[in-house]
Structure formats: C-alpha cells, structure tokens
C-alpha cells in the first residue's frame, strides 16, 4: 500500500505539468474550440498523459511557455472561429474506441515531425471519440472525430500559418494511410476491422479532394 501511494505521488508532478500555464495561454487557443464541455481526467487518463510525455511530446525548449493540454473543450461555442471541414469519410461500421487508440498512437509518433515539438497530440475527453493535433505556433489545429456513420477531419484556426499548412498535408496523408490500413488489412477478418468504409473507396475519394502538392 505504501509503495502504491508513493508511486502515485511521483506521477502527480508530471500530470500537473500539463495543466494550462496561465489565463493568457488559454486565451491564445480560444479559436480552436469545438464544444463547451469540460471533463476531469481519471487516474487512467493521467497515466496516459504521462505516457505521452515519455513518448516525447512537448519536449521542446519552449515547453514552459506552451499550454500543451489546452483542449478545444475549454472554449465556448460563441468563441469558435475559423472552422474548416477537411474531409468526411462515410463508414459502414466502426469500432471507435479501438480506432481512437490506434490514431492516437500514430499521432503521438508524429509529434516530432519534422522537428522536435512541432506537434502536440491530445485526447480531449475519455468519453468522446476525438483526437486532436496542435501545431507549435498555435495558429491552427486538426481534429479527428469518430462518429457512428462517418469520420470527420476538421481544421480549427482562423489564420493558419504557411508553415502549418505545409506540415498539415503530411499529417493528413498519414492519417488517411492509417485509416486505409485499418480498413483493408487482409490479415484481419472484415468483421474485426476497426472500420469498414462505405463506399469501399471512401478513403481514396477523401484523398482525392485534398491537395498534397
């Protein structure tokens, strides 16, 4: 019991390191908002945040001046600005919990692309099937929402920087590649796959609407 208590106490400073740094930092992200809900992280979510930190997210030199866990949930609907739908992929079936985890691991692995601290992956809620990707200059972010009948990819940010737009295409291409892998892995029975697009070429249709230069 004592060892467990000590172990949990050691985790708290790391988890607390992801709290919003200041009201000014929070204000800088208001244009990212999607909806007005706030969730307290469970112990399991705290452990997941610690794992993200160990993975290498937010490890740049400006970490103290950034607010890596400020979520779109912290903004009210009236404050939302610059919402740009990127792609919508209809699905016949989806396992949102497993797919959210799969995408989260992929985005975590892309946080240091092309440079350390370029991106910050985030799961804003343990209840909603949404993952987010913040850009280091705070000009915009990507949100991937997994719904019962479709997958929506949306950009939030009124004035995304040129640098953001260039790197966004890399992340989008990777997301579509990961979705394609989940949908068409022949080693997995169709009924067990994380998603089945409808029509079957829905991912490629979405890719065709995007410009990757």
In which band, very low, low, confident or very high, does the pLDDT at 188 lie, cut at 50, 70 and 90?
very high
For residues 80 and 178, the model is more confident at 178
Nearest in space to 98 (alpha carbons), one of 185, 6, 2: 185
| pLDDT in the model for residue 110 | 97
Residue 50 pLDDT > 80: no
Q: What is the pTM of this model?
A: 0.65
Task: Report d(CA 161, CA 141) in Å as an integer.
Answer: 11
Task: Report d(CA 38, CA 20) in Å as an integer.
Answer: 13
In which band, very low, low, confident or very high, does the pLDDT at 212 lie, cut at 50, 70 and 90?
low
What would the mean pLDDT of 63-87 be, rounded to a whole number?
Answer: 54
DSSP-derived letter for residue 40 is P
Directed axis angle between helix 43-55 and helix 2-16, to 10°?
60
Place of tokens 């949930």: 73
What would the mean pLDDT of 182-207 be, rounded to a whole number?
Answer: 96
Phi, psi (5° rounding) for residue 35? -160, 165
Nearest in space to 176 (alpha carbons), one of 197, 162, 193, 156: 197
Q: Other CB atoms closer than 10 Å to residue 4's CB: what's the count?
A: 8
| pLDDT in the model for residue 62 | 40
């Amino acid at each position: 019991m004592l060892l467990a208590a000590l172990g949990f106490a050691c985790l708290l400073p790391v988890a607390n390191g992801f709290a919003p740094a200041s009201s000014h930092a929070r204000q800088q992200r208001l244009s990212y908002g999607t909806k007005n809900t706030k969730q307290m992280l469970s112990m399991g979510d705290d452990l997941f945040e610690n794992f993200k930190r160990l993975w290498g997210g937010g490890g740049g030199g400006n970490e103290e001046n950034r607010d890596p866990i400020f979520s779109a949930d912290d903004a009210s609907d009236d404050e939302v600005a610059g919402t740009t739908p990127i792609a919508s992929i209809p699905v016949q079936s989806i396992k949102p919990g497993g797919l959210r985890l799969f995408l989260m691991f992929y985005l975590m692995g892309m946080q240091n692309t092309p440079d350390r601290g370029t991106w910050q992956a985030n799961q804003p809620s343990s209840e909603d099937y949404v993952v987010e990707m913040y850009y280091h200059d705070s000009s915009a972010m990507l949100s991937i929402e997994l719904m019962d009948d479709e997958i929506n990819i949306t950009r939030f940010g009124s004035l995304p920087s040129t640098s953001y737009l260039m790197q966004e295409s890399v992340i989008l291409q990777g997301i579509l590649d990961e979705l394609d892998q989940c949908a068409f892995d022949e080693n997995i029975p169709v009924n067990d796959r994380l998603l089945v697009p409808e029509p079957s070429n829905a991912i490629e249709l979405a890719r065709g609407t995007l410009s990757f230069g």
